[in-house]
Structure 1
Amino acid sequence: MNKGYVLNGRYEIIGRLGEGGMADVYLAEDLILKRKVAVKLLRLDFRDNPKAKKRFQHEAMAATQLDNPHIVGIYDVDEVEGMQYLVMEFVDGEDLKKYIKDNFPIPYAEVVNIMEQICSAVSEAHRHNIIHRDLKPQNILVDKNGYIKITDFGISRAGSEDTMTQTRSIIGSIHYLSPEQIKGQMATARSDIYSLGIILYEILTGKVPFNGDTAVSIAIKHSQTPMPSVRDFDPRIPQAMENVVLKATAKNPDDRYQTVNDMAADLNTSLDKSRANEPRFAVEPPEDTANEATRVMPFAPLGDTTPSADAKPASREPESTSQENNNKKKTPKKKRRRRWLIIGGIAGILLIILAFIMIASASGKTTVPIVSGTLETEAETKIQDADLTVGKVKYQSSDKIDRHRVISSSPKEDKKVKKGTKINLIVSSGPRMVRVGNYVGQEYDVVKQKLEDEGFTVHKRNAPSGTFRSGRILQQDFQADKRFNPSTKTLTFVVSTGVKRITLKDLTGMTKSQVVAYSNKVEINPTFDYTYSSDQPKGRVVRQSPNANESIQQGGNVAVWISRGTKKDNSDELKSFNMRITIPYLQDTSTAASSSSLNESDESGEESSDTNSGGSNENVVLIYLKDHDHNLSTVYKQMVITQDTQVLLPFKLSNNEVGKYKVVRDGKTIMRDNNVTYDSH
């Protein structure tokens, strides 16, 4: 079910939370009540399976009977277009299995708290005569505040329910199943208590007590092997707490706690000092256990009729003696019947074990198909054709593998596995796209580190500012709230150098080129004018404004007058005038195209850029001017524009002179006038 799908016109799917043997679970938004919920949807391949549908309905009925803060609530049960679904309370957290892994070792007081919450939920179920039958950490959820919720009553049953169909069948998770369930016997409340004891063992040690290569080997250990000691794993665990584990997991249900509340009460005091010297819990064997064990020994010589070396030859005895012997033989017959009953019981257990072995080996082996590089749908078909099932599908960004194609599988390709094994897939979600924000006003160093950690290349240009202090971002060359591929995107910032004051030196006597060099060094902007002077030779600075030793802001302007030389009496009178021109702004065509598809690219996850963000498409313009004081071969003014810009060009011409100007952008002349006169302006 895809993101955005609205189930039954009410529940909008946000994403997948997980999957089970029969159903998938999704996070959804309840559009009516405006809350997040978990939607459990019966898988497509089970929708025509009567047993699966019955189990699914059973879970809904069982859970709706229960009202406990530690049981996941059921909000809605329905079917639409052949899809059966449950709407449940959404628990924002993780299952207990992962919680143990993430937080182990867990303090003993917290262990008690966790188990008390679990026991509260199970006790509520038992109060309604409902046996869970599949208690395990994977069915216990822990929210972000450490609050416990039990879920998945799919195989629970009422205590009064007919169990004829359940005997000789194994239902539940083998690592947490009680010995009586493993033997196919009826599950009771004490079967759930056994599972709680295994869960407590796992919380204390971080692992289950019994493991093995096959389900059969694990089942045999549950039935025959004594429970390992948690104190052997951690001697600091109080004996009283270990006793709770041992009593809950006793092989004989009669030796366990009578109720879940009894177990919770015992666990609640297990850390008390008054129980510090408590002896280790041990089950007392029945009174005749030793005798019965001894009686088993004669089974071997039952068929041995060879007389001993000291035996006398057989002789016919009197009839009375024979009758007496017949009476004596009646007693051994009872013993033989008991022996045969015991033999029959052992044979039954062996048959059950043999059945497990046959079931385990019947599935056979198959090879994991080659799925890397194929589309996800093709990979699923290949897996199913190989008698395997698709497990978890995880999506991962990739610059090398196209979107929706498989990156890898687990187990790996070409590996021999049992038929029916779940094959987990990692599927490409395409290049990793990262959403960027508006960073204007923020510290450049902090933003730079954050973006470089994401994989972006970051560039900086400095500029003075009276608004932002040094180190703050003035402009950015990309649009905020867009997503980009960090491996291919370069982000450029204009960063404030702050307000810096410059004490001007005396420029008098300098040439124009010397003034320009000095201005570039201290980062000020000179403007030049020309005047006649008898004090300075032609081409040298006559005066300046502000004057020498005065202070100006970095980036500020300083006016400089350069000598034309001594004025001659017969020289033509110079005429001064300004010419106003408008320099057109040129938007880069590739950037314009990107801008025109902003909405489209945002939906598809493709890279986009903003043409109107500060400095993203600046025009660098050079202006050349020729008049009485300027030469067309040198730059009169350099500008950076981001829109159509008006400029005043100052001309000084004698009666016989003609002015000129040209505007150059990217090496191309875009404006020119070779006939500027006083009359023509």
Structure 2
Amino acid sequence: MNKGYVLNGRYEIINRLGEGGMADVYLAEDLILKRKVAVKLLRLDFRDNPKAKKRFQHEAMAATELDNPHIVGIYDVDEVEGMQYLVMEYVDGEDLKQYIKDRFPIPYAEVVDIMEQICSAVSEAHRHNIIHRDLKPQNILVDKKGYIKITDFGISRAGTEDTMTQTRSIIGSIHYLSPEQIKGEMATQQSDIYSLGIILYQILTGKVPFNGDTAVSIAIKHSQEPMPSVRDFDPRIPQALENVVLRATTKDPKDRYRTVNQLADDLNTSLDKSRANESKFIVPDERQKVDEKTRVMPFNALPSSSASANESDAQRPLPNDNENRSADKRPKKRMSKRKRRWLILGGILAFLVLLLTLVMIVTANGKTTVPVITGTEENEASQKIKSADLRLGKVRYHSSDTIDRNRVISSNPHENTKVKKNTKVSLVVSSGPRKVRVDNYVGQNYDQVKQRLESEGFKVRRRNAPSSSFRTGRVLQQDFEAGKKMNPAKHTLTFVVSTGIKQITLEDLTGMSKAQVISYANKEEINPTFDYVYSSDQPKGRVVKQSPAANTSIRQGGNVAVSLSRGSKTKKNDDLKSFDVRVTIPYFDGNQGSSSASSAFNNSQGTQAPASSSSAESATPEPTSAETPENVVLIYLKDHDHDFGTVYKQMVITKDTAVSLPFKLTKNEVGRYKIVRDGQTILRDNNITYDSH
């Protein structure tokens, strides 16, 4: 979104503040309230993604429920021209990650102050039964006075909701996720407390406790490895302050603080002299817990092998003395040979085990793992591949509606696969959404053009207009620029199609609904424009009057003004103001190549002429040299009653033409209009207000 663009007629874009996985954030000026705001705009590739839209809306709903000075406020949430956006409080500063990087080491008193502000915001969320689930320094903003604000409640949830998705996917940032979230278990207040402990660790040491080449390796460390000591990094850190980290980040949630307020209270006294000699917090031993649950079998329950042996011996006949003496000698000789055999077999077995171990070590040293690179930029993926002792193979580009341009779609071999070192890894990289070049279709048969464009994936719409120069069914005008490349999944192409010259007699539309009027207009190939008036004679949404009147004869493709009922007038509608905005639409003479009103409206596209000589003969079968070239004009209007996404009025002009655009606005509404001629916007106003007229 470019600087100077006015979003929804109210928020003027100043510059980009940052970008995330799903949305971009811009600094903007609220033109009505005259204040700076942050506008979070859902990225193009996620606008048709229902999950992304739901998360975007959820962020607004979650934040608006909370009233705390340390939580970024949400001012507005809306959608315009397919763009979903949030308007948030603007924090003039930086995120906590950059703050730590710029100011490390941070004094302990300031560390405690920062954490207490964060705890205040998280406690407010927990009081409303909302779990943040993605607490990290990047989601914590610090203004120039050191004041803390928490943002991004996009994946937060109510405490009564189940956090497990059907696919058991992990939600949140891996460096700050609790062990139970990594295992796919339900996130609780203790899960946020674990993330707060990791944030405190990072403020004290300047780094996260666990790092690794892959998300999986980091997750394993969170689940299995003990929390590193912050005092090993800096022995000057008070033991009481380290104890806060250790207790907040225990593996078992039951061993952590029960509430964020408990954590904050412990922090508040961690620098007191009374706690100077505090002993180190000992994390409960998980193995000891298991041993305590193990049942020990009584000794007398064990079977006695010696007793069994005695019973067997008692049943045997006793040998005589000679037999005993000879038996004493023979077994010794046999036992000696048996012992030697077992020693030889044992040696061979030990040798085989040693050999197998060596083979495994050599094999392991000769292998590596394909890193996780999906979604990363091509250059970053290439560096990760080289760092893993692999080589970059072929790079192919493929269009994608979900993966940004120049980011990796997939790899071969796949991620996390064990392969030999120096193996080539081929990449499939996104070339962005598939785009199709559109042409100049003026003069061509509409049905053929529609079939061709729909086969490419475009949505095609038709509007009708009378014409003395083009036969019925020929394209008079298109609302897009010829030669432009467009994404079929994102664009709807509108054509104005000739109906020739045919007279029809209007029916009485009084009492019809809007849908019925549109159905009748499509059947008769006329173009209705809708206005709204108060009426006690007709129910809301029904036609009150029309112009021209019933039984009037008009040309096919002409306009019919239809007034729909708003219902009876009430006191709530007293502040609705009606006024007209008068504009002059300049006429463009395609033969002379200029506008009669101003050269500023020159049209170099020449879209009123056929695209090629091959279509010229069929496009103008009955030309009349005396005819003045026609301009087909589309007018879009937004006010209390009209939607900017639909054409308010369509007209054909042969000279500069003045029109009055009717607006109805309340004090809190902002109106706008735009006028399109030959696929180009020639007039626009995005800031029409109640007080300006």
Q: TM-score when scaled to structure 2?
A: 0.45
Larger radius of gyration: 1
Query: TM-score, structure 1 length as denominator?
Result: 0.46
